[in-house]
Chains A and B, each alone.
Chain A
Amino acid sequence: MHKKIISILTVTALLFGATVMAHTIAKKGMRADLVLMPKFLGILVFDQANNGAQEAHKELGNPGKLEFLGPTPENSVAGQIEILTTATTQGQDGIMISNNAGDQIAPAAKAARAKGMTVVTWDSPIPSADGEQLFIAQVDFNETGMVMADMALNIIGPGGGEFAVLSATPDAANQNAWNASMKEHLKDPKYSKIKLVDLVYGDDQSEKSYNQALALVDKYPNLKLIMAPTTVGIAAAAKAMQDEGMCDQVKVSGLGLPAEMVSYTLNGCAPEFALWSFVDLGYLSYYATYMMATGQIEGVAGETFKAGRMGYYTIEKDPTRDKGLRVKMGPFSVYNKDNVEAASK
């Protein structure tokens, strides 16, 4: 008798578990024409994301096309809207956007949705989530602020001091979210000794970021740190400090690519910085978009799917915005002189 109950219970438990853990494994070979749109062309991290997406495209054996289209940096906002509108006209099945156009792109995104196109954002979402089905978040954006504040505290030290933020473009949703979250975290008494004196924009362009970094040290002679949550900005700021011979006085930190930062970390200009894998981000975004465009998943909260080599991810409500769903990719990697060389290979 006991045996029977146990076996029934076991089977029920297994069945229950199976339905709770119902996950979709991608069916290969289905056709979907997809577009990967970075903020603009010419930045290494977006090329890495493209590599990840191409990898996923091959793995899934999608007979459709994967286009990598982006605007020029000085025309990013209008250019992104134009590319999205064109993709809608062409009747593409899905588009993955790293949004640099704030909410201005929402009308075009809604028009795309109305035509049945799958619209997924990655790296930087549409702030109002209008027109966007899903956001692939590389990390939790609130956590980013904390990581930035922690690195600042770590580098400036217990004596305290002034620091400034060198951001990318003023429209970038991810930049604004990270800066806002960092300012929130700075209110905590733990950070009371470090002071944020300015926030400037380098537009993700080396030359402008370089000049902004120089302008910061000219304006604030007591500056101890430049925090640049953009891979272009952090590399340019580090070079600027190195060229001026100011690495002892002013350190550089933020979000950077080990490949670009290795010499600056080893010589002390940029002792610590963080990032995640853009290749993985592209890969994951592709899987999610492919599965949604081919109807394998619906894109609602609670759904779980397997993204190839990366494992299982669940769609959840995005806690960092008022509306919107997200899939959170993965952890930060913090780099310093111990691990940066290995990571840069």
Chain B
Amino acid sequence: MVKYLSQVRPEKQRELVLLLLILLVVIFFAMMIPNYLNARLFNRVSTSVAIMAVLAIGQTLVVLTRNIDLSVGSIVGFTAYFVGQQLSHNNEIEPMVAVLMAIGVGALMGGFNGILVAYCRVPAIIVTLGTMALFRTLLVEYSDAQTVLTVNLPQWLLDFPRLNVLSHGRLHLRFVVVIMLAVVVLFQLFLRFSSFGRKLYAIGSNPEAANNAGFPTQRIVLISFLLCGALAGLTGFLFLARFGNITVVAGIGFELKSVAAVVVGGVNIFGGSGSILGATLGAILIDLLENSLIRWLQISEFWRDALLGLLILTSVATDSIFMKRIRLYWAKRHAPSTS
């Protein structure tokens, strides 16, 4: 055990714990609910996680720099509506163009947040609380409170949620899930192996030291918000594909869920540590719990949010207590020898 603790990085240990938890949850519910383990569960969880996971990845980027983005829900709503609107008026728009549109609009809104946080030095929680309201107002005004109707959307968009890449009997690997996996892999590698990724962690760990070391802190924070907004835009596109009808309350509450996934996934709310993989596992765990509680007739599904709050607290507490100890131990074992 001791040997193990010294071989594997603390972050990896956290991810393994999450994986274990997910397995435990599946086993627990499989024992409690008849017909639990079937293709339908996999399909359902994978498609709904896809939306949340992409958003959680964006939130991770921001949280790593010791900030937070509460406006992602409104960004998702706005981009979903905007793209839906454009597609309704012009069914001929290419799918790739629609996706890029969503990403672009999201990035713009994220950039707005980023400028206020990085350059005007307003705390992120305040900026994004304000833009959460502002962007939603933008949505209502732009849409004139009208709804995007499924009938006006092009057929390829409506069929999108059902598009399969692989199928085995009733088990489907949907295209949206593949998109999510691609994003996960891309950003996990990007953060681990690029200098930008390393700087991101550095800024979150110790902003003053990073500044003193000459890092372009402001630019990096701006980019992290830009990327978060872009991913929120992509989420908006996936949201549009899944629900079709976009109303003015689209995306309300998503910001909380994304922060929950990030925190449960082991990303430190004070920045500096955590991984994309962890956040994705956090999103999967939360979504799995939600979908399982619905099927478990013994307990009302309404326990979902109460349990989620408790889960967040215990995750953060565990991180705070145990991770600190494990990191200290790790640092001691792997300190460069001074003799």
What is the interface of chain A, defined by CB distance below 8 A to chain B? 41-44, 47, 70, 72-74, 205-207, 210, 214-215, 218-219, 221, 232, 235-236, 239, 243-245, 259-260, 262-263, 344
Which residues from B are CB-within-8-Å of A215?
Answer: 294, 301
Contact partner of A262 (CB less than 8 A), chosen from B44, B151, B291, is B151
The total of interchain contacts (Cβ-Cβ below 8 angstroms) comes to 80
Interface residues contributed by chain B, number (CB under 8 Å): 30
Name the distance in Å between B70's Cβ and chain A's nearest Cβ. Answer: 16
B242 close to A (CB within 8 Å): yes
Are the CB atoms of B147 and A42 closer together than 8 Å? yes
Which residues from A are CB-within-8-Å of B40?
Answer: 218
Are the CB atoms of A206 and B247 closer together than 8 Å? yes
B206 close to A (CB within 8 Å): no
Q: Which residue of A lies closest to B254 (CB)?
A: A207
Name the distance in Å between B73's Cβ and chain A's nearest Cβ. Answer: 11
Which residues from A are CB-within-8-Å of B295?
Answer: 218-219
Tell me which residues from 100 to 125 in chain B have a Cβ below 8 Å from any Cβ of chain A: none
Return the CB mask of B232-270 against A: 1 if under 8 Å, else 0. Answer: 000000000011111111101000000000000000000
Q: How far is the CA of A245 from the CA of B167 in the complex (A)?
A: 14
Are the CB atoms of B147 and A214 closer together than 8 Å? no
Are the CB atoms of A74 and B252 closer together than 8 Å? yes
Q: Given A205-B247, A236-B245, is A219 in contact with B294 using a C-beta cutoff of 8 Å?
A: yes
Are the CB atoms of A243 and B247 closer together than 8 Å? no
Which residues from B are CB-within-8-Å of A72?
Answer: 140, 248-249
Are the CB atoms of B147 and A43 closer together than 8 Å? yes
Are the CB atoms of A235 and B249 closer together than 8 Å? no
B145 close to A (CB within 8 Å): yes
Which residues from B are CB-within-8-Å of A44?
Answer: 146-147, 149
Which residues from A are CB-within-8-Å of B252?
Answer: 74
Q: How far is the CA of A92 from the CA of B37 in the complex (A)?
A: 60
Name the distance in Å between A184's Cβ and chain B's nearest Cβ. Answer: 27
- 23 residue pairs A–B, Cβ–Cβ below 8 Å: A42-B249, A43-B147, A44-B146, A44-B147, A44-B149, A72-B249, A73-B249, A74-B252, A205-B247, A206-B147, A206-B245, A207-B247, A215-B294, A218-B294, A219-B294, A219-B297, A232-B245, A232-B247, A235-B150, A235-B244, A236-B243, A239-B150, A263-B150
B327 close to A (CB within 8 Å): no
Which residues from A are CB-within-8-Å of B151?
Answer: 259-260, 262-263, 344
Which residues from B are CB-within-8-Å of A214?
Answer: 44
Q: How far is the CA of A239 from the CA of B242 in the complex (A)?
A: 9
Question: Which of A42, A74, A215, A218 has the largest count of B CB atoms less than 10 A from its CB?
Answer: A42
Are the CB atoms of A260 and B150 closer together than 8 Å? yes
**In the A-B complex, the 6 residue pairs with the closest CB atoms:** A41-B145, A206-B245, A42-B145, A42-B248, A215-B294, A42-B247
Question: Which of B147, B246, B301 has the largest count of A CB atoms less than 10 A from its CB?
Answer: B147
Q: How far is the CA of A79 from the CA of B49 in the complex (A)?
A: 33
Q: How far is the CA of A221 from the CA of B35 in the complex (A)?
A: 10
Which residues from B are CB-within-8-Å of A260?
Answer: 149-151, 245
Name the distance in Å between B302's Cβ and chain A's nearest Cβ. Answer: 11
Tell me which residues from 145 to 201 in chain B have a Cβ below 8 Å from any Cβ of chain A: 145-147, 149-151, 158, 161-162
Are the CB atoms of A239 and B243 closer together than 8 Å? yes
Q: How far is the CA of A94 from the CA of B244 in the complex (A)?
A: 37
Q: How far is the CA of A266 from the CA of B95 in the complex (A)?
A: 25
Name the distance in Å between B115's Cβ and chain A's nearest Cβ. Answer: 28
Name the distance in Å between B151's Cβ and chain A's nearest Cβ. Answer: 6
Q: Which residue of B lies closest to A70 (CB)?
A: B145
